[in-house]
Amino acid sequence: MGAGQSTDYSGASPEELSYMLAERFATKCFSPLELTHFKDNFFSRAAEQGGLRYWNEKTLSDFLGIPDGSFSGADEAPLDAGPVLFRMVSYLGAFPFQNTLAPSVLTFEAMVKVVVLLTERYGKVLRRGRKDRIKLLFGSLADVGRKDIGQPSNQDSENKESESEENPELCPAKSYAPGFSVDEPANDEYDEDEDDDLALAALESLDAIEVFKHDHRVDRTVYETRISVDTFRRLLMLLLVIAPLKPLEPVKMYTSDLDLERIDAIRKEADSIIAVFRPEESDGGITYRAFARTISTSLPYLFDPLTALFEHMLFSKNLNLSQRRPSEAASEEETHEKSEEASMAKPILLPGSFESSILNQTILSHLSFFLPSKVQSTNLFKSGVRLHPIFSTAAHGSSLTSFSHNVLTWQSANLLILQGAPDGNSEETVTIGVYLPQSWKSSSTHGSSSSSDLLPCLFQLSPKHQVLPGNPSPSVQKQANLPAAWFSTHTGIAIGCQIPPASRSHHTPPIPYGAGSLTIDVNLETAEFRVEPVGHDGVFLPPGTSSMEDASVKTRLDLYSLEIWGIVPDPELAASSEANANAVEVQRAKWEFEAREAERRRNINLKSGAGDSAKESARWLLETAGIIGDHGQYSGGST
């Protein structure tokens, strides 16, 4: 790519401007070393025709390590995502002239733009990049036929949808509508100026706005496009598999040992995610409105695995470091060694008193698409956190006394997750959870002073993904009777409920309050999950994907298993408090203290012969130590 710059591009064609933009991306978004690796990776594998160097679908899939779809013994291809990725990058490579140039031949310049957009390196050249990236991703996936929504169709538009190519290898089949015309009912809260913002920001310094406007002459309100469920499922299955991927890890670490059972679990998890996009409401496709709203509110990290995947373009194994100057070679080797060490797959589930009967790699990947992290804009895997086992009904029994013994000693953020079957439907499994950024507290410390800036969230993973975010309202967070999590050995566990005033003679159960709640009985055998489409005065807000027309949903479950996992931050990536950094040690110390107190318990006379005063004193000591009793009227976590 040339180094020369011009000051007047007003007469340039879209092809020329696209080339110039790629040049600007390359110089501003990559270091010289990264660009050297990028060029080696591309040109060492590129095919050539008529002097044009390019990648085809097979080259792209082979380099990234994407399975080709063959699977011995399977009735259908398990991870046939190669064609989907190729179509995505062919669309993104034409940026910002998708209507004129898409699908693009994957030349070096096109791949530069693809890597910049998918690895989120556009901060130096684009404004509002992350928000508008959603529009680009939708356009790259939309493949359901266009539909006239109120204006006469133009016969010529069909000719524009696909242009014949002499060499189909250079230009992929156009199975989707050009551009990314969006679902645009009359009042869809859609701002066309915002839609152009990403491209205008890219071109404003090139004095090329008029060319861009000419490219976008097609009225977006004429057609609607949608993402087909099959296309999205194939991409989702790949994202679920490679979610833990780090930049230098080979993709085959995660794709090589997929048996039929794992493939089936991955497909079911993908279908749970697809359900939240409500494809049944748009003739089986996913509209732009549903896509943008769902990604923004419920799946903010869904496409993060593509960042690590395309970071592979920026490291080449072909380069001989020994031929570089000694100082540069040593520095690069050291960086590479550190990267390889950091990329070693570390289990996110720490060893402890039990092994999970709920969490597996697929569900952890699903959690990573939305679970908040102390590191801003970072998902579960990138943040480096680990999950420490605290409590499990399978290992510790269905006793709230055992629950309190294990959970109250954990002094950090934690995750509650459960599985069960709806009443009368033992064949369906429902998975529900809640993320709590603070520890569970006893009544004496109710209203925690934790400085956590994260909010709790209540969520369902299956059979339909949905997330109820925590309410940021200070007035809600200050109400002592609206804790995020609460429990009593008299009434059970309550998430997102209003707690009645304490009474010595009567134990009133918590009252579900706000947009969502989860209650569990004292025997940890049944649960009720409630979701309302409205309600902004409780701990949890309605799901971002809900509408006023949605009905209230109450799901009563027979519990199979309930688990609590402590979240242990990575000290290298997250600035955490001393309690957080040593949460495991603190818990162990408290367990040891309780064990010593239990030993002392043998020396306390609670026999019937003792006086009432002695028995009351002894019981007070045991309750204070957290060994017996209800820990006061109630115990729970604060918001």
**What confidence score (pLDDT) does residue 93 get?**
93
556 with 476, same domain: the answer is yes
* Residues facing residue 460 across a β-bridge: 432, 466
What pLDDT band is residue 442 in, cutting at 50, 70 and 90? Answer: low
287 with 434, same domain: the answer is no
Look at residue 491 and tell me if it is in a domain.
yes
Q: What is the dihedral of CA 604, 606, 612, 617, to 10 degrees?
A: 30
205 with 117, same domain: the answer is yes
**Final residue before a domain boundary, out of 527, 546, 571:** 571
498 with 556, same domain: the answer is yes
Q: What does residue 497 show for φ and ψ, rounded to 5 degrees?
A: -120, 160
Is the pLDDT at 544 greater than 70? The verdict is yes
Identify residue 534 by its one-letter amino acid code.
Answer: V
Is the pLDDT at 497 greater than 70? The verdict is yes
Structure tokens at 189: 């809260």
What pLDDT band is residue 582 in, cutting at 50, 70 and 90? Answer: low
DSSP 122: G
Mean of pLDDT values over 223-237: 89
**What confidence score (pLDDT) does residue 303 get?**
95
DSSP 218: S
292 with 308, same domain: the answer is yes
**Final residue before a domain boundary, out of 536, 554, 571:** 571
**Final residue before a domain boundary, out of 281, 312, 343:** 312
609 lies in which domain range?
578-623
492 with 554, same domain: the answer is yes
Percentage helix, strand, coil for the chain under 3-state DSSP, each rounded to 5: 40, 15, 45
Look at residue 635 and tell me if it is in a domain.
no
560 with 589, same domain: the answer is no
Q: Which tens digits make up the pLDDT trace of 135-155? A: 889 989 987 554 433 333 344
264 with 239, same domain: the answer is yes
Rounded CA separation 568/379 (Å): 14
Is the pLDDT at 521 greater than 90? The verdict is yes
Residue environment code for 166-182, b if the CB has 16+ CB neighbours within 10 A, otherwise e: eeeebbbebebbbbbbb
Look at residue 290 and tell me if it is in a domain.
yes
Structure tokens at 333: 């080797």
Q: Which tens digits make up the pLDDT trace of 235-265? A: 999 999 999 999 889 998 998 878 888 999 9
Longest dimension (CA), the chain: 103
**How many other C-beta atoms lie within 10 A of the C-beta of residue 281?**
11
Residues in the chain: 639
Look at residue 277 and tell me if it is in a domain.
yes
Rounded CA separation 101/22 (Å): 14
Helices H, strands E: what count in the chain? 23, 19
**What confidence score (pLDDT) does residue 598 get?**
58
414 with 293, same domain: the answer is no
Look at residue 73 and tell me if it is in a domain.
yes
Percent of the chain predicted with pLDDT > 70: 65
CA distances for 110 relative to 1, 133, 180, 215, 474, angstroms: 12, 17, 18, 18, 48
264 with 296, same domain: the answer is yes
CA atoms within 13 A on the CB side of 453: 5
Rounded CA separation 140/166 (Å): 23
Q: Which tens digits make up the pLDDT trace of 65-104? A: 998 765 544 445 578 899 999 999 999 999 888 777 888 9
* Residues facing residue 420 across a β-bridge: 430, 559
Look at residue 352 and tell me if it is in a domain.
no
Is the pLDDT at 561 greater than 60? The verdict is yes
Asked if 422 and 429 count as a contact pair (C-beta separation under 8 A), the reply is no
The DSSP annotation for 303-357 comes to THHHHHHHGGGG--TT--GGGS-HHHHHHHHHHHHHHHHHHS---SB---S---S
- Most confident segment among 419-433, 449-463, 510-524: 510-524
* 11-15, 274-278, 293-297, 425-429: least confidently modelled range: 11-15
What pLDDT band is residue 345 in, cutting at 50, 70 and 90? Answer: low
485 with 439, same domain: the answer is yes
Structure tokens at 292: 């943008």
* 11-20, 202-211, 215-224: least confidently modelled range: 215-224
Closest CA to 88 of 375, 361, 309: 309
425 with 289, same domain: the answer is no
Asked if 519 and 475 count as a contact pair (C-beta separation under 8 A), the reply is no
Look at residue 356 and tell me if it is in a domain.
no
* 97-106, 344-353, 592-601: least confidently modelled range: 592-601
Domain count within the chain:
3
Task: For the chain, give the mean pLDDT.
Answer: 76
Mean of pLDDT values over 577-588: 58
Is the pLDDT at 317 greater than 80? The verdict is yes
Asked if 448 and 637 count as a contact pair (C-beta separation under 8 A), the reply is yes
Is the pLDDT at 165 greater than 50? The verdict is no
* Residues facing residue 27 across a β-bridge: none
Look at residue 497 and tell me if it is in a domain.
yes
